[in-house]
Chains A and B, each alone.
Chain A
């Protein structure tokens, strides 16, 4: 994989003494969708700000497209787009002009066809002459995305792109982001909606208190840290776990009426459910009847919460 962004030893300490980033190392590959997850105040927005020129790093280096951002910021910024978390823009500007101005600000000549294409893709074409202030929250966020896309960036940062957006619009936006990836744009997004990362991201990074706790491919992370839990309602209660089932991680609950399977972790990605299937066969072979099975596999959210709490997933 070819890196498009390489961050090394990035530290940011604000003038008040608060350290928002603690020697962060992170590499983003060309063409991927990378989701940066973390609670409020974890350092996500500071990290994005440091790359995009809004935050002055205290130390460390940022290389984009193989070049040092500090010394080559002018032409590198032209290849990077940012959609901020806040709905911050001149609300009195009409949509089309605002998006066209964003293109001009990045030094590109006017291109009415390109602006139309972007507005149509984001379902904003019908609102092209409306003042931004008259649009709904979701539509305003689309305008910010359109503004960020106006200069056709190769690397796009989306800071909480679907915050405050209803479910339908959110799914619509996911489709747009997937389309961007198909066109070769690398996307880095922060989100509170872990479902969003689960749905879209190729790789996931978890950040807390200014430190990157883990970076991995989403599937590998879920396989490595995922856990399967199954509750098997027994037709007849058991006094103890039979010897034939001793190889399975089982406990009894509710006076022996429920058999609980709880993996030790690391059996995500289907391994746990396979073992539960073997368990059910073993139950039948041992003549133990059951009336219901409830299987639950760890979501990215479970893994995220466990990591933040410092426990094993």
Chain B
């Protein structure tokens, strides 16, 4: 029986990658299952977290609900998988989830080398630093020699290394796996600086007991366009994800909200609004969905602006201004291609 040990060990190794079988018809699979499987983060205030009732909430979570509403007609037909920065790509590549909506930065190598398709930018972000006020640091350029907490498996650790070597500074990295651990280490003074995307810093800071004792330094050291992504090889599924996101941005431009969507669909004179909400044309059908897919999605979670204000905006604890994420008509970067 000694011989059996090797096959079993190999089996365990292969099973991890062998599960995949990226089938072409993700849409059919999702419809058949009646559930969308969506990977989110393990917990980041504003983006994805479970509320006191154990229900997933947040900006990234709502995008999944919008897709579920568009595809299945039910925003609650989602199985959420919490993933860490390390496990997310494996989860998506192996086919364990249908879509990854976990503040993930769109980069060349993730697109080309890891074989993923990014569906657009749901949040324009950049990497920043948070320090305790008591350190008396006013700029990231003063951080020479500091201990920095970083989440592993993210673009932040690469940016950090680049930034410090470009400025001829040294640092001691403390690599941690999740945002929760990062916060714990930072608060216990095991590191001087916590670095991640500025939105993540704001979200973490919002959960601190004495948020005012901490400041986010002014330097933003990277471009972090965050967005949802799917596997290469299923263009129909990618189009669905992309146009659900675009539909929500267009809805904001056109002033369509969760509350007035039905009314707009029935009474609007604007041809683009009518196409978007399915009251004219066969736009949804070409995606393999109902013509009213955008209407259902918007009714479920609201337009892009509503989603933002509900989870991240200045009225929330996270307290982020729209900034770059305002629509292009307001001077921001959120710009969806025309719906025609």
Our verdict on whether A and B bind, yes or no, reads no
Query: A residues within 8 Å of B by Cβ?
Result: none
